[in-house]
A = this chain, B = another copy of it.
Amino acid sequence: MEYKFSKKLAELKPSAIREIFKSLSDPTIISFAAGNPSPDSFPVDDLARLSAEIFENEASFALQYGITEGYMPLREAIAARQKSRFGEGMVRDCDTTLVVTGGQQGIEPACKAFCNEGDAVICENPSFIGALNSFRSNGARTIGVEMEEDGISLEKLEETLKTVKNAKLLYLIPTFQNPSGTCMSLEKRKAVLALAKKYEIMIIEDNPYGELRFAGEDIPTMKSLDSDGLVIYCSSLSKILSAGMRIGFVIAPSEVASKMVVAKQAEDVHTNLFFQMLCHKYMTTCDLDAHIAKINELYRHKCNLMLECIDKYIPADKVTFTRPEGGLFIWGTVKDCTDASFVVKKAIEKKVAVVPGTAFNCDTEAPSPSFRLNYSTPSDEQIIEGVKRLGEVFTSL
């Protein structure tokens, strides 16, 4: 049988990062390639105890079909936390909070709800490959807009909004952008919202790392600033409770949320109900703030350690690095270089895995002078040894 695949999937490759993740079975490789939270960030003892309680008291309900929108007590707990953490504007009267199967499932149904095949999604360039592939797998074109130090270029964004036909969505990670680590300034957030209103385009605000700030001050989310129903807010509990459980959430104008529910229903009916109940129990009976403070203490340490090693081992005249105030990543850019793919290749020869910048390009053919490093997964020893080896890549140039 010669298979004739759909146009949208015929050419689409699996995420380079997920593929790298699979190839890391070689235990001698030090991986800075993952986007995994530290296993130390999982509150195992509390989850084990609460899980036993659910089996004891609510098993019939937890193991049965649930409704697509999600377990109501968890939806309420998430809405309450988002409001207390990021402001009352996070969930307005006209909004609905949904539970989805990881943050990823906030993005994909949003694209399905708005994009016909051939429509465009405007993205920061570089951007999160998982989201780019969500758009591509729905037959949408991804149009990249250049980044500046304080986020997306306003000038280029307006130019794109003026010229690109059938642009239906603007996908942004305003806080600790993946992969660049950039935070969009407050002024820019307001200006982007004004542009979205002017050009009548919906914004997906992806905020998986918002709770992972270990330095500096919070900047209001775009969702909290939006009074025009322009923002679909996607986030998850992956980075603060468990990634493997696949519990994410969406806060969106109710009319939009109801379309996303129809799309989700046709994809997986609903999200694992047992873990929805487990998250609800954790959020309402344990000290989530203290737990997150512990995670951020850990990541502050790991990030600082990696930056110290970078300063020590990697020649500053050859590569520049971001100095993030949160999130999971450091973004390196080779000076006077258009294509840094040699770094990835030479690093893997030295048994260090990093992600090539090309993986995050909207244009899959374009080169990149950058690469991404993760500090949350490796041990302290691995960070020291790995950056040392990475330094050899550059000193031997």
Residues of A within 8 A of B (CB): 1, 3-9, 12-15, 18, 21-22, 34-37, 39, 42, 44, 47-48, 51-52, 55-56, 59-68, 100-102, 104-105, 108, 112-117, 119, 130, 133-134, 136-137, 139, 168, 200, 202, 228-230, 238, 242-246, 253, 255-256, 258-259, 261-263, 265-275
Q: How far is the CA of A14 from the CA of B263 in the complex (A)?
A: 9
Contact present for A253 and B1 (CB under 8 Å) = yes
**What residues of B have a CB within 8 angstroms of the CB of A242 in the complex?**
63-64, 274
Residues of B within 8 A of A119 (CB): 6
Which B residue sits closest to A238, measured CB to CB? B65
User: Are B6 and A267 interface neighbours, CB within 8 A?
Assistant: no
**Is A1 a contact partner of B229 (Cβ separation < 8 A)?**
yes
A139: B residues at CB distance < 8 A: 116-117
Q: Known interface pairs A6-B115, A117-B117. Does A246 touch B262 (Cβ–Cβ under 8 Å)?
A: no
Please state if A261 and B6 are interface contacts (CB–CB under 8 Å): no
Contact among B21, B105, B266 for A268, CB-based, below 8 A: B105
Copy number in this complex? 2
A243 touches B63 (CB 8 A): yes
Chain B CB within 10 A, most for which of A56, A137, A273:
A137
5 A-B pairs (CB sep. < 8 Å): A6-B114, A14-B265, A63-B243, A65-B238, A130-B266
Task: Please indicate which of the listed interface residues A39, A262, A273 has the most CB atoms of chain B within 10 Å of its own CB.
Answer: A262
Q: Which residues of B contact A12 (CB under 8 A)?
A: 262
With known contacts A39-B63, A47-B55, A13–B243 Cβ distance under 8 A: no
Say how far A396's CB is from chain B's closest CB, in angstroms. 33
Q: Which residue of B lies closest to A133 (CB)?
A: B266
User: Contact at B64–A266, with CB atoms within 8 Å?
Assistant: no
Q: Which of B64, B113, B273, B275 contacts A6 (CB 8 A)?
A: B113
A42's nearest neighbour on chain B, judged by CB, is B63
- The smallest beta-carbon distance between A330 and chain B, in angstroms, is 20
Chain B residue contacts of A136, Cβ below 8 A: 266
B245 touches A273 (CB 8 A): yes
- Which residues from B are CB-within-8-Å of A21? 65, 67
- Interchain CB contact under 8 A, B268 and A5: no
Most buried by B among A18, A22, A273: A18
CA distance A55 to B12 in the complex (A): 37
Closest residue of chain B to A275 (Cβ to Cβ) is B272
Residue of B nearest to A268 (CB): B101
Contact A243 B42 (CB under 8 A): no
From B6, B37, B63, B200, A116 is in contact (CB under 8 Å) with: B6
Q: Are A245 and B265 in contact (CB under 8 A)?
A: no
Query: What chain B residues lie within 8 Å of A14 (beta carbons)?
Result: 68, 258, 261-262, 265
Kindly provide the distance from the CB of A348 to the nearest chain B CB, expressed in whole angstroms. 19
B55 touches A44 (CB 8 A): yes
Give the chain B neighbours of A60 by CB distance below 8 A. 39, 42, 44
Find out whether the CB atom of B116 lies under 8 angstroms from the CB atom of A243: no
CA–CA, A56 to B37, complex, Å? 20
Contact A67 B22 (CB under 8 A): yes
> Are A47 and B18 in contact, with the CB atoms below 8 A?
no
Find chain B residues with CB under 8 A from A238 CB. Answer: 65
